Chain A
Amino acid sequence: MLLYILLIILLFLGIFFLESFLLSMFGISIVFVLCLFLFKKVNWKLLLLGTALFSVFIDVVLNIPLGVTMLVYLLSILIYNLLSFSLSTETGFYSYIFKFVGFLLFYIAYFYAQNFFLIGNGGLVGWGQVWGWILRAVVSVSVAFLLERIFVRFRDGKSKSNLRFK
């Protein structure tokens, strides 16, 4: 039991390190990629707890009010989820289109939220910034695609959209 807790703490810190590294290197949020990937695959209470913890940690180090990152995560996933009413977001080519839209909305919302809380306005947006968002969304979709390929072996036999950790 203690080992299990220790492993979870180490995994949490490892993902936090990776998030900080990728945020400063390319501006890509691996935590949001994981959130979107794990949405409807794991218990929503676990996902909410993980999301809340990560977002609070990120808010502290980025000096923005607590809860802002979580709000952005949730709103982006909500919009992504709303798209599932039109077509499947689990499998197929369109699932990646919806994921791309979800990631793009997240990066745009994250940029504005940070600017709003740090400098009080939306900040300047140029074509370079827009291309940056699109590129990040493409890279995030690629990472999500890789995650799906890697974790395909962990699919639960009964329900293929859930993950089995045993």
Chain B
Amino acid sequence: MKRNALSIFEKDLLFFPIGIFLAVTLVLLDSLIGVSFVRSGISYIAEPIFVGANSAGKEVASSFEIFKDFGEFRKECDALKEDFNAKNVENSYFTMLVEENESLRKQVNLANDEKEYLLVKVLSTDSVEFLRLNEGKASGIEMGDIAVLGNLYLGSVVQVDDKSSVVRLPRSKNNNLEVIVVNGDWMDVKDNRKVPILSKAVVSGTSDGIRIENISANSKVKNGDLVVVNDSKVGESLVLGYIVNLSNNPAETSRSGVVVPVVEYDDLITVFIRVR
């Protein structure tokens, strides 16, 4: 009998009935009577371990979430790229409108009221020396017409066909112009106010930019003075730029320097051609 009893208790199958009985007893005890003293005792040890492990596990799980959502991120990124490109296009259009508005404002405020001007767009600034424009003979442009922006001199038309034209810039090689150096603001030039002429000079385009030469050695020309085009080919006084790097050699009979244009030729989009 005893041996049989022992052998029964050695069987693995007793695991289930005893275990289930124990589990059901615990459930009933906890649900009906409550064993809060056991819970509080165990939670004193178990809670700190559980909280630490739980937060660590959640941190790791959240980093794996990134891989799970990778497909969504990719779609979102593509959608954002499309949106960005669309907005870029819109922005470019508005930028051009703003630029045209600024050019028109300058033209209205600074240009000669008695002359007639044609609004044209620059097609390309690939060349350092020339600007290609989007209007030609059909719009009334002729060889020798002057390109301006307000009272700024930009160049003269050297090629023209039916639909487009080419303007030679002052920095174009072997482009020579007669100029005067004045001490004043470019608004004074526009209003034809009497501004003191410091010297006459000649500007020419070189590979280094616009060079100004033949400035009188006795003149009071200094860096920062305004250079105004005063050439018969141009027909009116138009601002070219400011003098920089003025030479200061007392042995020279004349002085020279570099002219920095008022506007950046490479940034031009809207210009005006004086047609009459």
Question: Does B18 lie within 8 Å of A48, measured CB to CB?
Answer: yes
- B8 within 8 A of partner (CB): no
In the complex, 11 of the A-B residue pairs with CB atoms within 8 angstroms, ordered by the A residue number, are A18-B53, A20-B53, A24-B58, A26-B61, A39-B12, A48-B22, A65-B26, A66-B38, A71-B20, A71-B24, A74-B15
Q: Which residue of A is nearest B60, CB measured? A: A25
Choose one: A18, A40, A56, A81; the contact of B42 (CB below 8 Å).
Answer: A56
Given contacts A13-B49, A70-B19, whether A24 and B27 have CB atoms under 8 Å apart is no
0/1 string, A1-41, CB within 8 A of B gives 1 = 00000000000010011111111111000000000000110
Question: Does B43 lie within 8 Å of A68, measured CB to CB?
Answer: no
Given contacts A25-B60, A74-B16, A74-B19, whether A17 and B31 have CB atoms under 8 Å apart is no
0/1 string, B25-68, CB within 8 A of A gives 1 = 11101110001001100110111011011111110110000000
Residues of A within 8 A of B47 (CB): 60-61
Chain A: interface size category: 35 or more
- B23 within 8 A of partner (CB): yes
Docked pose: A40 CA to B11 CA in angstroms: 10
Chain B: interface size category: 35 or more
Docked pose: A68 CA to B39 CA in angstroms: 14
With both chains docked as a complex, state the minimum distance between the C-beta of A32 and any C-beta of chain B, in angstroms: 13
**With A20-B49, A24-B58, A67-B23 already in contact, 19 other A-B pairs whose C-beta atoms are closer than 8 Å:** A21-B53, A21-B56, A23-B57, A25-B60, A47-B15, A48-B15, A48-B19, A51-B19, A57-B46, A60-B46, A65-B26, A65-B27, A65-B31, A66-B27, A66-B38, A67-B22, A67-B25, A70-B26, A71-B24
Query: Which of A47, A67, A77 is most buried by chain B, counting CB atoms within 10 A of its CB?
Result: A67
Question: Does B26 lie within 8 Å of A17, measured CB to CB?
Answer: no
Q: Which residue of B is nearest A25, CB measured? A: B57
Question: Does A40 lie within 8 Å of B58, measured CB to CB?
Answer: no
Residues of B within 8 A of A44 (CB): 12, 14-15
Choose one: A16, A18, A40, A70; the contact of B46 (CB below 8 Å).
Answer: A16
- A52 within 8 A of partner (CB): yes
Residues of A within 8 A of B56 (CB): 21, 24
What are the 10 tightest A-B residue pairs by CB atom distance, in nearest-first order?
A67-B26, A24-B57, A20-B53, A25-B57, A67-B27, A71-B23, A44-B15, A61-B50, A21-B53, A70-B23
With both chains docked as a complex, state the minimum distance between the C-beta of A3 and any C-beta of chain B, in angstroms: 20
Choose one: A18, A26, A67; the contact of B30 (CB below 8 Å).
Answer: A67
